[in-house]
Every structure is written in C-alpha cells, then in structure tokens.
C-alpha cells in the first residue's frame, strides 16, 4: 500500500436486495475513494448465517456493477487483505476476542431475552442499539458465573470505561461528542457464538487497512463503541463520514420489501442506471436537476460538504416514476 493512500470500502449485508438508499451510500463511498485516487474495497458482511443468503450476495455484485460502481478488491476479485467475506474470517475475530479477554475488557453476560426486554422502558443509549445495558452481569462473583453458566451459554460484553467522553470529527456530521459510557456495555459475541457487528467491522477495517469509512447515518452512534475497540486492540482508527439516509416522502424508513426502490427491480424494468445515478446526484446536491450521468462523471463534482445534515426525503416525483416503471400503479 502506498504511504498515505486512501482506502475506502462498501460493506453490504446480503440479507435482502439493495435499495435506493444503499445505492446512495455506495455511490458516496465510491466517489470519496476515487476522488482521492485511492483504492475501493467491497466486503460482504455475511457474518450472521441465519439472515445472510448467497443469492443476495451475488445480486449485490451484479447491481453495483450495473450502477457503474467497481472495486479493486473484493470477494469475487480477491486482493491482498482477503478473505472479503465475514463468514470466512472467524479466526481473525477469535484472535481479537482472545486479546480483549486477556486484557480484561470482556465479561460473560447470562441475561435472558426476557430480562433484557425488561429494560426496554429504561433510558436509551445508542439509538441503533436500543436501551443501555445496566451492567447486571458485570460484577458477578466467579461462583455466581459458574452457577449461571450451568444453565445458559453466555454472551460476551465489552466493559466500557466510564471516565471519558468520546469526541471525534465526522466528515459529514462534524464534531460529535458522546458522554462516558454511552449506550452501556455492548455485546461482542452472542450467546449462539455469532460475533457481533461492532467487533467484526473493527477487525475487518483494520485488517484491510481501511483509512476512510463512509457509511449510513444510522451507524453514526455506533462509532464510539468502535473507537473503544480500536483503542483496546491497539489499532489505528480510520476517518469516519456518515451519509444522510434516504427516506420515504412521509419520513419513514425505506423497506427492502418495497420492490420498486430496489436496484434489481430498476434493472428488470429497463431503467437506465445513468438515470438512477442522476437522481442520486441531485439528492446529494451535486446537480441542479436529475440529468442522466455515470458515477465516473461525478468524480470531479462530489463534495461531502454539500450533503444535507438530515434525512433526505425522496421526492414523490421520483417514487412515482420508479413505481410506474416497475409496473406498480
């Protein structure tokens, strides 16, 4: 890797079809890396076997290529930092867990789903994670842990240091400060043995020498947890930039079950990818009107500073057009 070279990435989960919002994030991440003359990595976050599907993974590759987004390293083309599928990286996660355990950062949590549901009315920590965990299992005696372990396999939680606030500068959202212990101690390995997103993404980005993480705004408040993990593992954290989410005209989240907004449906209906990219560029503030354009033609026009700092409502005009083209009145 060239000294100082930018390495960006897009890391979709193959749990459904890519929709317009996923395409928007992928486009911004790709343009950020290409504008800097850097490397773009595609990583498949298929760590959860119960939800991931190989058919979706293949569809992701096809849809991104149709849109005009390419990558230098990935699950289909290889590269020096593979494997690029989380399902094949279990040994790396176990090594990280072993280090965290040896350094005293982890503790077993035996709480049941019912017990965790009982804190649903408690003050929320991180929006994407739900209620803050109150630390019930953090100070159990060894005898109590042994007694509970006889009844239930534990999850592993990371014990947050409670002294300092976390402050970082986001490339889009600006300066972000989270109070000490924000969100509570979080799970790094589930009771069923599946490694949690927070740990996997840190290990992967560090192993793949990612310098710039451009991802959806809904992951902004996961960043403090990941910064704690980078520090605990002795790893250098990348720069972060969180892209505003595309939402429906009424402000509701986009749903993968709405076929009209999936890239697969757009391809099948004969919509030109340049038309989709033009609309995304208009929503980003890089074009005055949605004219057909290729991603490569936007490299000189992409500007993170022009992106809104709030959700972007998809215009009724765009949604109606997509549904009309897809045969949905």
Residue 328 predicted with pLDDT over 50: no
- Average pLDDT over every residue of 7-25: 96
Phi, psi of 124 (to 5 degrees): -75, 145
Work out the angle between the directed axes of helices 54-67 and 20-35 (0-180°, nearest 10): 60
Equal CATH topology for 7-88+244-325 and 90-200: no
Calculate the dihedral angle through the C-alpha atoms of 199, 200, 203, 205, rounding to the nearest 10 degrees.
-120
Q: What is the DSSP letter of 74?
A: B
Separation of alpha carbons 252 and 21, rounded Å? 12
Separation of alpha carbons 60 and 112, rounded Å? 35
Please tell me the total number of residues recorded for the chain in this structure. Answer: 329
Give the domain ranges of the chain. 7-88+244-325, 90-200
**Mind listing the pLDDT tens digit for each residue in 41-84?**
999 999 988 889 999 999 999 999 999 999 999 999 999 999 99
State the catalytic residue, choosing from 99, 256, 267, 282: 256
According to the model, what pLDDT value does residue 216 have? Answer: 96
According to the model, what pLDDT value does residue 132 have? Answer: 80
Is 256 an active-site residue?
yes
CATH number of 7-88+244-325: 3.40.50.620
**Mind listing the pLDDT tens digit for each residue in 243-269?**
999 999 999 988 766 777 999 999 999
**Mind listing the pLDDT tens digit for each residue in 93-134?**
999 999 999 999 999 999 987 667 655 443 334 565 667 888
Q: What is the 3-state secondary structure (H, E, C) of 16-59?
A: CCCEHHHHHHHHHHHHHHHHCCCEEEECECCCCCCCCCHHHHHH
Q: Does domain 90-200 have CATH number 3.90.79.10?
A: no
Separation of alpha carbons 51 and 15, rounded Å? 6
């Amino acid at each position: 890797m060239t000294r100082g070279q930018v390495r960006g990435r897009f890391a979709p989960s193959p749990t459904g079809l890519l929709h317009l919002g996923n395409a928007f994030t992928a486009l911004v991440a790709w343009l950020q890396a290409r504008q800097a003359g850097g490397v773009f990595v595609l990583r498949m976050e298929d760590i959860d076997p119960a939800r991931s599907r190989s058919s979706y993974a293949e569809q992701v590759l096809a849809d991104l290529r149709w849109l005009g987004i390419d990558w230098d390293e990935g699950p289909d083309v290889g590269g020096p930092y593979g494997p690029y599928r989380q399902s094949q990286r279990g040994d790396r996660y176990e090594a990280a867990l072993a280090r965290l355990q040896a350094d005293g950062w982890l503790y077993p949590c035996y709480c049941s789903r019912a017990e965790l549901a009982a804190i649903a009315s408690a003050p929320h920590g991180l929006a994407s994670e739900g209620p803050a965990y109150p630390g019930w299992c953090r100070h159990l005696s060894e005898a109590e842990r042994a007694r509970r372990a006889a009844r239930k396999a534990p999850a592993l939680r990371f014990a947050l240091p409670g002294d300092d606030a976390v402050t970082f500068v986001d490339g889009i959202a600006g300066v972000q400060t989270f109070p000490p212990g924000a969100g509570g101690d979080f799970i790094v390995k589930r009771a069923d043995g599946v490694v949690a997103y927070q740990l996997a993404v840190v290990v992967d980005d560090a192993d793949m020498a990612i310098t710039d993480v451009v991802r959806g705004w809904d992951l902004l408040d996961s960043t403090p947890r990941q910064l704690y993990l980078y520090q605990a593992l002795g790893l250098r954290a990348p720069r972060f930039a969180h892209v505003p989410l595309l939402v429906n005209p009424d402000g509701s989240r986009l749903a993968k079950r709405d076929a009209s907004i999936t890239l697969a449906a757009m391809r099948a209906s004969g919509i030109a990818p340049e038309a989709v990219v033009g609309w995304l560029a208009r929503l980003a503030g890089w074009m005055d009107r949605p004219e057909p354009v290729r991603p490569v033609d936007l490299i000189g026009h992409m500007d993170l500073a022009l992106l809104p700092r709030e959700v972007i409502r998809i215009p009724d005009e765009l949604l109606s057009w997509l549904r009309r083209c897809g045969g949905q009145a």
